[in-house]
A and B are shown apart, each in its own frame.
Chain A
Amino acid sequence: MGEKRRMENHLAGKKEKGKTFFDLSRRKFLKLTAMAGLSVGAMGIQQPSKASPSQSSTGFGNKAKGKWIPTSCLNCTARCGIMVKVVNGNAIQIKGNRSSLISEGQICPRGHIGLQVLYDPERILSPLKRTQTKKGKGISPQWQPITWDQALEEITKKLRSLQESQKPHHLLIFSGLNSRSHEDLLFRFAEAFGTPNLVSGEGLELESEKAGIWMADGHFDLCAYDLDQTNYILSFGADLIESSPPVARWLRKWGRLRREKPIRTKIVEIQPRFSLTAAKSDEWIPIKAGTDAALAMAIAHVIIQEGLFDQKFIREWTHGFEAYRQIVLRDYAPEKVSKLTGIPSETIIRVAEEFGRTRPALAISGKGATAWPGGSFTSYAIHCLNALVGSIDAPGGLLYEEPPAYRPFPNLPRDEVAKRGLEQPPLDLHGTENFLAARIVTNQVPKSILEGKPYPIEMAIGFNSNLNMVAPGCKQWEEALQKIPFYVHVAPFISEMAEYADLVLPATTFLEEWGYDHSTPGAGFVEVRLKQPVVKPMGNSKPIGDILFHLVEKLPGGVRSAFKDIGESTAGFVRYRTSSLVPWEEFLKSGVWRGPDYQYGKYARIFQTPSRKFEFVSGNLRVLQMKKGRNTGEEKIAPHYSEVKWAGDEGQYPLLLFPYQPLLTFGNGSQNYPWAQEIFLPMQGVGWVSPAEINPETAKSLKVKDRDEVWIESPFGKIKTYVKVSEGIQPGMVCIPWGQGHTSYGKWQKGIGCNPNEVMGIDFDSISGQSAFFNTRVKVYKA
């Protein structure tokens, strides 16, 4: 009897050959069905609610009529089209906008949580000024409310002085999760002001995945997937239904992949941890952490050896196949790779054959496989599997999504100060010797600030960023933030990063502002969503767009004129930029504009490589290396596996720290939302916590039990949490979810759980500048 069948019988209470599968007594069932299965461990909770419980029995009409307004969600980078129901000026319900086809009108649970974002009782509603001169973790800034005029005056005074002293590049701008329209305005502002230092958190996400794709075909971007037609998915640590962008698209398409196609798509999840995605997949292949590249190459080995590859595509549209073939056949035999990855060679061969024989098939890489030093080559190796089976720009395969053609900005007025500022080397050192192909190296920034190199930073403005929480090595960020002489934080909440600000400006949430948005690549076709205010801005909060339009008013000519003729206000700007796509009235009504259907097989123009073909040996990388006077030979610019460089000595730190991203905190800087908190970890059936999960074997060797309080210590620090013993974790690993461990604001998040980034080492993928997240060793001992 299959495991699945047994599980269902047992859930149904059916007997199996005289015995139940395991004795599921009523008590046990009830225990399982109670949400709180575990002790909550090390958490100090803030003071009890200040809001007095009130039971108003009047005032609500039984038949209060509401209105549904289309707008766009911003709880993660998917930026789904949503409808918000507004009654008596209050937003009371959110659902997907059926006209948005990225996720077929569906949204993830976080979409609904937008209501608790908007009505978070701890939002800041007026500009705040720091009165405490000392900055540091745990030091209260002693905020004092000031007026918008005062705040903007202080900021523009400082900005003007940077311009006057011809040092516009000493301004650093951070951009967190913002609408595309706000991102575009920030970009315009930075360019007009003259700073090359507009830093996003993207260097912490999927840059190595993008670089791997770029090495092969010249696209430095994520690919889209033709999920309606694919029949086989090999996921390398992608956690497709928890943290693979665009999230809601994956949630919707999963239903289609399973039961809404003529052929049920087989899904194989490869990663060391038995994630929710692994549980919902057809097969889970636990792999030794950091060896995904070797596995991808071994799969290629089998496919090539057995002649299962797409001969026509390889012959006509690829370059360097022979060299790749030799490397793959020489170095990556399944038996050899089996030792590296811990996966039986029969499994490797079987999966490779399935992948090679099922058409169309997709290989997908995720953060778990690529956020490593050398991660670009892992992504490259995985990407090559798609080429082998002809899944490039083909039905059921990888798609190349182009961004929407918004109406361009008018030319920037010429400004000598700005021009010289922009010519300065960037603070994150992208494109330099250290990070050859990088576009953004987020985690290099604090180091540059601390060293004052290539120049000192005199002022920074952060828009919805929270880097000292989400980047590896939080301490480095804390020190860097302390060192910035003047820091302005713009956000609806006092995040960990805001604690270091000299001024805080209250931004609106996404439900109170104008904007346009489109998802990260995913669907193939493009779609733009209108973001419109569904309720009035709370208190004195202002949209980021409005703040920028106000700011430039008081700045010298060049910057001011850069904001002329682009609509004069945030709403006007949105109208200006989308006028090339859709008439305004129509956009207001539907909230969604969609581009033409995807065209497959554009081979003659999609490959941006020296050979104008898909390259198994990267000409793009060779060109860059030559420019820097380096030549490393073919093997080093073809996909390959290299052994992981661990942070921490194995003897002293025997375990691997392997954090993971639950859906309910994906892409989100804050967690002050009880609806998300109470159901945070569905696989464990608990909320409000972040346990350290370890295999029973590991627990035994460490002499710790379930629910024991422990320290997780690395060479870089230690954090405290409690142990959850779990069969779904590979022995020798410690798995902790991301998203908790907040030290700032909000009684529903502050002091709850721990943040694995605090004990993580700082390391990069040298090609893309991607931060490494998984190569830190730790030890675990009783607290």
Chain B
Amino acid sequence: MAKWGMVIDLDKCVGCQACLVACKEENNVPHGSPEEQKSRRDIFWHKMIAVTSGKYPHVRVEVIPMPCMQCDHPPCVTVCPAKATFKREDGIVVQYFRRCIGCKYCMVACPYGARSFNYKVQETKPYHRQDDPPDRKSWEPWPFPTRTQGVVEKCTFCFHRIDQGLKEGKKIGIEVVPACVESCPSQARIFGDLEDPQSPVSRILASRASFRLREDLHTLPKVIYLSRS
């Protein structure tokens, strides 16, 4: 069984945030508003943080694009009382909206702030995607075209793309990648099978210095960053 992972090269990344927008576009993630940003209720499956250090003129800022880290030891799964959040066999941590009781334990447990709560009934937009969601027979209700108020949601590694791609016999990581990977103009992101030593992700990890966020927590993220130097 493949274990899907994502590599983000901070040396190539230009901090343009195309990944953020493409994720919203792909998954109908609703846009926020000034009020929602102030109260931190705007929903992002993928976000960007800026970490600043040093004093003028020796200042440094590292901008870090962050999807869900797809932890291999996901604390969000451990704490979910309803078993709504779980890890698939291929390592992707997903969320069953039908089971989610909206207790937000997972949001508290996630050390990366990867999760968002659906505070309101979301508007439907003319540009919302109506095509190719995951198989509705097993997944309804699903955030597109409509969302469910009162549940927690997060990045899915675009598993609908992967599942569909596998069904069509496509090469995952080459012909089929998550939306954020596809949209990255500097091509700073690579997706693929971490278990396969020949996959582009494994090969680049073998050749460059890399790190994961908060390694000390032993969450074992499957989103791995390549260092700038």
Question: Which residues of A are interface residues toward B (Cβ below 8 A)?
Answer: 2-15, 21-22, 26, 29-30, 32-36, 39-40, 43, 45, 49, 51, 53-57, 60-66, 85, 87-88, 90-96, 103, 106-109, 111-113, 115-116, 118-119, 241, 248, 250-252, 254-255, 258-260, 274, 276, 279-280, 284, 286, 663-664, 674-675, 677-679, 682-688, 695-697, 727-731, 748, 752
CB–CB A26/B130 < 8 A: no
- Give A9's nearest chain B residue, CB to CB: B211
Task: Given A14-B215, A26-B111, A279-B63, answer yes or no on A95-B124 (Cβ-Cβ < 8 Å).
Answer: no
> CB-CB < 8 A to A752: which residues of B?
34
Asked if B186 and A254 make an inter-chain contact with CB atoms under 8 angstroms apart, the answer reads: yes
Binds A, one of B96-104, B115-123, B191-199: B115-123
B22:A5 contact, CB within 8 angstroms:
no
Tell me the minimal C-beta distance from B60 to chain A in angstroms.
6
Contact A663 B16 (CB under 8 A): yes
Chain A hits for B188, CB < 8 A: 255
| Cα distance A731–B215 in the bound complex, in angstroms | 37
Q: List 28 A-B contacts (CB under 8 A).
A: A6-B53, A13-B213, A15-B216, A29-B214, A30-B111, A33-B112, A34-B40, A34-B113, A35-B40, A40-B37, A43-B34, A51-B123, A87-B130, A92-B130, A106-B185, A108-B16, A108-B18, A109-B20, A109-B21, A119-B126, A279-B61, A280-B15, A663-B16, A679-B17, A682-B48, A682-B63, A727-B55, A752-B34
CB distance A115 to B52 under 8 Å? no
Among A7, A107, A664, A730: residue with most chain B CB under 10 A:
A7
B50 at the interface (CB under 8 A from A): yes
Tell me the B66-99 residues at the A interface (CB within 8 Å). 66
* Residues from chain B with Cβ under 8 Å of A4 in the complex: 60, 227-229
A53 to B132 CA separation, bound complex (whole angstroms): 24
CB 8 Å contact bits of B185-229 with A (1 = contact, 0 = none): 111100000000000000000000001111111000000010111
Closest 6 CB pairs of A and B: A255-B186, A13-B216, A674-B31, A106-B185, A33-B113, A251-B185
Total residues of chain B contacting the partner, CB 8 A: 84
B146 within 8 A of partner (CB): yes
Known: A252-B185, A663-B16. 19 other contacts (CB 8 A): A3-B53, A7-B51, A7-B62, A11-B213, A12-B211, A35-B44, A36-B40, A39-B38, A56-B145, A62-B136, A88-B130, A92-B127, A106-B184, A108-B16, A109-B21, A112-B25, A727-B52, A727-B55, A748-B33
B54 at the interface (CB under 8 A from A): yes
**Pairwise interchain contact A33-B63, C-beta atoms closer than 8 A:** no
Q: Would A35 and B21 count as touching, CB distance under 8 A?
A: no
Assuming the A-B contacts A53-B121, A55-B146, A94-B25, are A61 and B11 also in contact, with contact meaning beta carbons closer than 8 angstroms in the complex? no
Q: How far is A96 from B185 in the complex, measured between Cα atoms in Å?
A: 9
The answer to whether B16 touches A109 (Cβ under 8 A) is yes
| Residue contact A688 to B34, C-beta cutoff 8 Å | yes
Q: How far is the CB of A290 from chain B (nearest CB, A)?
A: 18
Decide if B49 is an interface residue (CB 8 Å cutoff): yes
Choice from A40, A259, A286 contacting B11 with Cβ under 8 Å: A259
Determine whether the beta carbon of A7 is less than 8 Å from that of B60.
yes
Find the A residue at minimum CB distance from B209.
A8
Report chain B residues within 8 Å CB of A56.
124, 145-146
Residues of A close to B187: CB separation below 8 A: 106, 252, 255, 260
B48 partner, pick from A39, A88, A685, A731, beta carbons under 8 A: A685
Given contacts A14-B216, A279-B61, A683-B63, contact A90 B50 (CB under 8 A): no
CB distance from B76 to the nearest CB of A (A): 14
B50 near A115 with CB under 8 A, answer: no
Who on chain A is nearest to B47 by CB? A35
Query: Is A93 touching B26 in the complex (CB atoms < 8 A)?
Result: yes
**Docked CA distance A6–B211 (Å):** 12
B167 adjacent to chain A (CB < 8 Å): no
Which of A65, A259, A276 has the most CB atoms of chain B within a 10 A radius of its CB?
A: A259
Given A45-B34, A116-B127, A678-B31, do A3 and B214 touch, yes or no (CB 8 Å)? no
A29-B111, A93-B26 in contact; A63/B60 too (CB < 8 A)?
no
CA distance A22 to B55 in the complex (A): 14
